[in-house]
Structure 1
Amino acid sequence: MSEEERYRVNLLFQEVVRNYEYYCNLNGESHNFEELPLVDKEVLKTCYPLFRSKNHDETQPYIESFTSGTTGIPFKCIRTKREQIQLSLMISRKHAKWGLPVKHRSIVLSNRVSIYPDQYNCYIEQINRINPHRIQGRFSDLLELSKRVNHNFTCPALVCIQNWGESIQPNHIEQIERAFQAPLYNYYGIEEIYGIAYSDKDRMLVIDQESVYVEIVNPDTHKVVREGELGEIVVTSFFMKSVPYIRYRTGDLGAVTYDRKNNRKILHLLAGRKNSILFKNRTINASIFRYLDRFLYELSVGVDLRYQLVQNSYTSFLLLLTVTGNIQTNELEKRLGPMFDSWLGEKVEVKVQQVSELIKNSYNGKTEPFICQINREDY
């Protein structure tokens, strides 16, 4: 933590222990920012009145929005008009760095576009008609749209393609950029506080340190890990005061490194979430996703391949692959079986199936890299 960050988070610490009952009730248990407890959606929902400022005005109108529902029932977020403006301004500044004009035209792909494939052609017609500066959508939908663009496609005003809400699979970046003749930028954020990190021209996800403070913690011990070490992403917003998001657990996995040459922090996202894989009576190290990503990335060099891992039971996994041409699923199973046994520390069954489409989340339309079919209420 830099001196400037320490100064800002300590100011925030002093503010929340004075003005928010949840933190006032800690009774001296926390003496500085690092000792504040981690919170998540469940804590906020259960103790919601305690997270309202003592000075909040009930008559003031609030803007409501909802999370995507990836982890279950969508969570209601509230913010004041001033907070909404602040957050929107921060996003606009990042857009300006991408080269987008202040008044830019955008086409945003529906989260449900894959359900009605004919809509892809409708979007191509819109692009030709509107000549947008930006095309935004889920990575899987942007990839599908790029496959339907003909070789003489032109969109003179197009500045960038923006992914949001899904993990980018590196072997498909070039395909999207070649089809649209524009760079693909990534964005990581959550509905509760908007932007956390934005990709720059060298495709690194740079943390917006003016808006947020990001920590990486061990999901089991809640201790902050060392630089570059994998863990759960925990974020603190400097702007949100109607409901404070202090040391807020996102459930996403990643690591943070410090680019000392350019004085910036880089966020490295990992596919999957902290509790994605379930085993009875123990937790699973999330690094399995890093190993699997690496294995499949090497396998997919020069091939149009995407994957999705489905856990059907505590010891049974199904790897779904969309790939051009045919693959030897039996041979792949023989290679993956011992790898999974080693990664998980237990004998498991791994099956591989070639499919035309991956499974989309019924709540939000995302193509998640991992799906768990085990009933979590029974876990």
Structure 2
Amino acid sequence: MDKNNPALKNLLDLAVNETEFYKNRKTYTSLQDFPVVNKNVIKEHFGGLVTTSSKEKKVNKIFTSGSTGVPFMIYQNQEKKNRNTADTIYFAKQAGFTIGDKLLYVRLWTKELRKKRIPALIQNISPINIEDLEGEKIQHLLTKLQKNKSPKGWLGYPSGLEKICDYLDAINSKPIHCNIKSIIGMSENLSDDVRSRMWYYFDTPMVSRYSNFENGIIAQQTASSNYFVINWASYILEILDFNSDRPVKHGELGRIVITDLYNHATPMIRYDTGDVGAIAIDPDQPFPVLKTVEGRKSDILLDTMGSMISPFKFMSIIPKYPEVKQIQFLQVDNATYTIKINMDDPFNREEELLSLFKSYVGQDAKVKMEYVNEIPLLNSKKRKISRNLLTEKNISREKSLSV
């Protein structure tokens, strides 16, 4: 990682010399002399974060609302855009995807995101709207894939790919032979259940990618490990304590904070992504890896003693109850929880589920079962397995105070 030192110094020097926000940091000695920032800070001080040199050049405007629904924009210089392209090619190849293969891209395709027909054809992208993944439309898609023998790769929300697996389960399908070479899940936690079913039906291993709109690809799993290989070539990654800006020990959960080495238009130095993870040493990797990416802090429930519980524990519950169509676990108060269930028939295993849930959150927990017709999706059409309503309220309060 010493190879990053020139790029890091170049970025920090640029920030202190060309932005109003960092001009008082000219005597810095290390990255840790810079403050941790987040979306709210960047929005509030955006004018003071844009470098003077980038104001004279063409920049790319990057818009995102993420899972929070709060609009957010940054500028990226052309070198950063080129870097993202190179990162995409490299990490796609690590997952088995070759540029030129057909990319089956499953996500919410809004009017703003929908690619024009000609660029999509040139890039060989087949946009698949997650809202269209129902019964006959899934069958129509699979029929088309089987007729087309060219190499292909899946990229998309695990919840969308799960819909395809659920359909194949329902019709007792055998594996689909349509020349799939890679499967990459993004933007949501990937459960072992979805990973194994996609591997079974499409005969290639599935990996999870950790990325965001404002930066790019931050880390990606390998086919042989659940660990995420960090994109150290483009970022400095820190795991910081939840209540201070000190680093946590290897293996401990904390805030994922990154420094984007190549965005010289809107420097993102020690940017708190809002995600939670833990770093570790893998003897098979030359540099530290992400042991886990737990999703956003607002997705993480606390047990009755105040300790965090990995969302993956709740994801592991789903395969045990195949009769349940949808399920979501919510934290309402410090020791009060709600389990939302959507299913067609009466649920006869309520006590069993309550017992399992309490084994995670604490036997003294107050748990309410709520039966619903639908568990609503986020605006992005992603579905959360867990929601901490207490954390969401605190985040909303912080946003209102920053406006």
TM over 0.5: yes
Judge conservation of contact 1:232–1:252 (CA < 8 Å) in 2: yes
Which has the bigger relative contact order, CA under 8 A and spacing at least 6? 2
Cα deviation 1:52-100 (Å, max 9, x = unaligned)? 1122234x33322322431231212332333212211111012122332
Given candidates 117, 120, 123, the residue that maps to 2:134 is 117
Alignment of 1:105 onto 2:105: no
The answer on 1:234 being equivalent to 2:250 is: no
Shift of 1:296: 6.1
1:215 equivalent in alignment to 2:243:
no
Residues in 1 aligned to 2:287 and 2:255: alpha-carbon distance in whole angstroms: 20
Kept after mapping to 2: 8 A contact 1:113/1:120:
no
Displacement of 1:26: 4.0
1:288 lines up with 2:308 in the alignment:
yes
Moved more, 73-82 or 238-247: 73-82
SS of residue matched to 2:36:
coil
Are 2:96 and 1:75 equivalent residues in the alignment? Answer: no
Kindly state the Cα deviation for residue 270 of structure 1 after the two structures are TM-superposed.
Answer: 4.1
Match of 1:350 in 2: 367
- Which deviations, in whole Å up to 9, do the C-alpha atoms of 1:181-202 show, x marking residues without a partner? 1211211011111100012121
* TM score, norm. by length of structure 2: 0.78
Q: Please, which moves more after superposition, 119-128 or 14-23? A: 119-128
Relative to structure 1, the CA distance from residue 334 to residue 100 in structure 2 (aligned partners, 3 Å threshold; closer, same or farther) is: closer
Q: Does the 8 A contact of 2:327 with 2:375 survive in 1? A: yes
Q: Deviations over 1:9-36 (max 9, x none)?
A: 34533332222221113475x4321121
What code does the residue aligned with 2:288 have? K
Counterpart residue number, 1:36: 34
Please state if 1:330 is matched with 2:351. Answer: yes
Shift of 1:323: 9.0
User: Is the CA contact 2:147–2:178 (under 8 Å) kept in the aligned structure 1?
Assistant: no
Counterparts of 2:321 and 2:2, CA distance in 1: 47
Contact 1:177–1:184 (Cα < 8 Å) also in 2: yes
Residue matched to 1:364: 380
1:267 equivalent to 2:290? Answer yes
Q: What letter matches 1:66 in structure 2?
A: F
Q: 1:153 to 1:296 in 2, by over 3 A?
A: closer
**1:171 to 2:193 alignment:** yes
Contact 2:300 2:308 in 1 (8 A): no
Q: Is the 8 A contact 2:315 2:385 kept in 1?
A: no
Please say if residues 303 and 323 of structure 1, whose CA atoms lie closer than 8 Å, have aligned partners that are also in contact: no
Unaligned residue ranges in structure 1 (runs of 5+): none
Matched residues, number: 364
Alpha-carbon distance change, 253 to 152 in structure 1, aligned in 2, over 3 angstroms? closer
Could you tell me the TM-score, scaled by structure 1's length? 0.83
1:191-216 deviation per Cα after TM superposition (whole angstroms, max 9, x unaligned) = 11110001212133100111111100
Query: RMSD of the TM alignment (CA)?
Result: 3.3
- Check 1:352–1:10 CA distance in 2 against 1; reply closer, same or farther (3 A cut): farther
Q: Deviations over 1:288-336 (max 9, x none)?
A: 222x634763x56776587532234565322246799956212432453
Shift in CA distance, 62/27, structure 1 to aligned 2, threshold 3 Å: closer
Measured in 2, the distance between the counterparts of 1:302 and 1:334 equals 13
CA contact (8 A) 2:14 2:264 kept: no
Residue from 43, 53, 56 that aligns with 2:54: 56
State the Cα distance separating 1:265 from its structure 2 match. 2.4
SS of alignment partner, residue 22 of structure 1? coil
Asked if the contact 2:91/2:220 (under 8 Å) is kept, the reply is yes
Aligned match of 1:128: 146
Distance, in Å, in 1 between the alignment partners of 2:385 and 2:16 is 39
Q: Which residue of structure 2 aligns with residue 147 of structure 1?
A: 166
Q: For the residues of structure 1 that align with 2:230 and 2:71, how far apart are their CA atoms?
A: 25
Rate the CA distance shift 1:243–1:72 in 2: closer, same or farther, 3 A: same
Q: Which moved more, 1:128-137 or 1:86-95?
A: 128-137
Q: Does the CA-based 8 Å contact 1:21-1:51 persist in structure 2?
A: yes
What code does the residue aligned with 1:151 have?
Answer: K
Query: Is the CA contact 1:322–1:357 (under 8 Å) kept in the aligned structure 2?
Result: yes
Structure 2 runs not aligned, ≥5 long: 109-128, 399-403
1:9-28 alignment runs, 5 A limit? 9-26=8-25, 28=27
Identity %: 20
Partners of 1:296 and 1:135 lie apart in 2 by 22
1:301–1:123 Cα change, 3 Å: closer
**CA 1:310–1:332 in 2, change beyond 3 Å: closer, same or farther?**
same
